[in-house]
């Protein structure tokens, strides 16, 4: 059990660091220090080093964010209200974190965009998978509320994009206004399909 | 004139590097190299070093992005079509850059969020100013189209947030689908006020 919890501590510490300072600025030594794990144990669990830890951390963060979306979406029957509830919950959590814990994957994804010319990096693949998973949760809610498959999928993409952008704006402004407006406007957009 | 063009080269090179790899991963030596300027001349124009260059670069990028928004907004009389045109133009430019030149300020802003506990960093101030300037352009278009002041300001915030998030998603997916959908949905949202 000790080994399992050490791995968890490494993943959670890496996830927080990626969220707060991005991939480039996060070193494996800092991860080891914050996780209260030796550098040797970090490499024991993640022989691939920093990139491998980061992928595991992004997966962990993706699931954490998905759980938040599920909580908000499941709390409202009406799909428009459910989408707005996501924005409100994000605003509450963001303020509680001192505006620090925003989207867990955006910074890491953006920093690695210019690195190569053809293929996506593993970090970008993990980021794209996270966006797709979040979209699927919103899409499922819309489908269950009677939306057609194409509308549900398309709206879900815009809902996640808008929450994403509003989260960044709220963080930079240290003010939840952008998230609350995004929630209201997304509810209006979803409501316009009925 | 030589000194002026050297300063311009430094600013433009720094802007591209920030856009493609963020703030943390961009060193002043790399800026000097890409700008074909000596390190001495970088410090001559920017005694404040990397942060000072970055602020000037973010202002330059902010204006570049504002120009793109103006082009799209001015090209359509109808406000819903004008907002959609912004998304379409962003998609075209993003694809043309090989998915690299996205929002010039997001990565830099996100990387510096976790650095301090109270005050915003100068980088975040510059990012917030950029978002506000872009919102003002969209808001002015909506006002000129007969929207009330509150609706115009609120919609403008959501338009910029949504374009922002869709740009990140398009970059990560190397596909403009998210931007084109965002454009259509924003047009529908704006149109719903008439």
- DSSP states of A54-107 as a string? HHHHHHHHHHHHHHHHHHHHHT-SSHHHHHHHHHHHHHHHHHHTTT----TTHH
Non-local CB neighbours of A31 within 8 Å, separated by 6+ positions = A10, A13, A14, A17, A42, A50, A53
Most B CBs within 10 A among A98, A113, A127, A159, hence the mutation to make, goes to: A113
Per-residue pLDDT reduced to its tens digit, B66-90: 999 999 999 999 999 999 999 999 9
Residue of B nearest to A193 (CA): B188
Q: What is the largest CA-CA distance in chain B?
A: 57
* pLDDT 10s digits, A127-159: 899 999 999 999 999 999 999 999 999 999 999
Q: How many Cβ pairs within 8 Å bridge chains A and B?
A: 172
- Domain boundary assignment for chain A: 4-192
Are the beta carbons of A169 and B182 separated by less than 8 Å?
A: no
Cα-based distances in Å from A57 to A96, A123, B158: 21, 10, 30
Name which of B107, B125, B136, B145 is nearest A123 in CA terms. Answer: B107
What's the average model confidence in pLDDT over B44-52?
Answer: 94
* pLDDT number for residue A119: 65
pLDDT tens-digit profile of A59-92? Answer: 999 999 999 999 999 999 999 999 999 999 999 9
DSSP secondary structure code for residue B77 in this structure:
S
Cα–Cα distance measured from residue A13 to residue A31, given in angstroms and rounded to the nearest whole number? 6
pLDDT value of residue B1:
46
Cβ contacts of B192 on chain A, cutoff 8 Å: 188-189, 192
Cα–Cα dist B59/B29, whole Å: 21
CATH of A4-192, one of 3.30.450.40, 3.40.50.300, 1.10.357.10, 3.40.50.150: 1.10.357.10
pTM of this structure = 0.92
Helical ranges in chain B per DSSP H: 2-21, 28-34, 39-45, 50-74, 79-96, 106-111, 122-144, 149-173, 177-191
Closest chain A residue to B103, measured at CA = A110
Residue from the list A113, A131, A188 with its beta carbon closest to the beta carbon of B169? A131
- Examine the pLDDT at B186 and tell me if it is beyond 50: yes
Rg of chain B (C-alpha set)? 18
Residue A27 has pLDDT above 80, yes or no: yes
The reply to whether residue B100 touches residue A111, judged by beta carbons under 8 angstroms, is no
Q: Is the dihedral of CA A145, A151, A153, A156 positive or negative?
A: negative
Task: Kindly tell me if the per-residue pLDDT of B157 is higher than 60.
Answer: yes
Q: Which of B14, B50, B123, B162 to mutate to test the interface with A (most CBs of A within 10 A)?
A: B162
């Amino acid at each position: 059990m000790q080994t399992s919890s050490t791995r968890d501590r490494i993943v959670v510490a890496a996830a927080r660091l990626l969220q707060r300072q991005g991939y480039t600025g996060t070193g494996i030594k800092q991860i080891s220090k914050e996780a209260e794990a030796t550098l040797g144990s970090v490499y024991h669990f993640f022989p691939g080093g920093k990139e491998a830890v980061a992928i595991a951390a992004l997966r962990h963060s993706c699931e954490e964010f998905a759980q938040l979306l599920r909580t908000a979406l499941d709390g409202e029957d009406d799909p428009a209200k459910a989408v707005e509830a996501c924005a409100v919950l994000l605003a509450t959590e963001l303020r509680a974190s001192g505006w620090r814990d925003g989207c867990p994957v955006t910074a890491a994804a953006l920093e690695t965009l210019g690195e190569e010319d053809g293929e996506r990096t593993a970090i970008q693949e993990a980021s794209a998978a996270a966006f797709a998973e979040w979209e699927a949760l919103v899409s499922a809610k819309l489908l269950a509320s009677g939306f057609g498959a194409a509308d549900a999928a398309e709206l879900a993409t815009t809902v996640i994009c808008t929450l994403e952008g509003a989260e960044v704006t709220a963080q930079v402004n240290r003010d939840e206004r952008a998230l609350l407006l995004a929630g209201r406007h997304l509810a209006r957009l979803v409501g316009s399909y009925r």
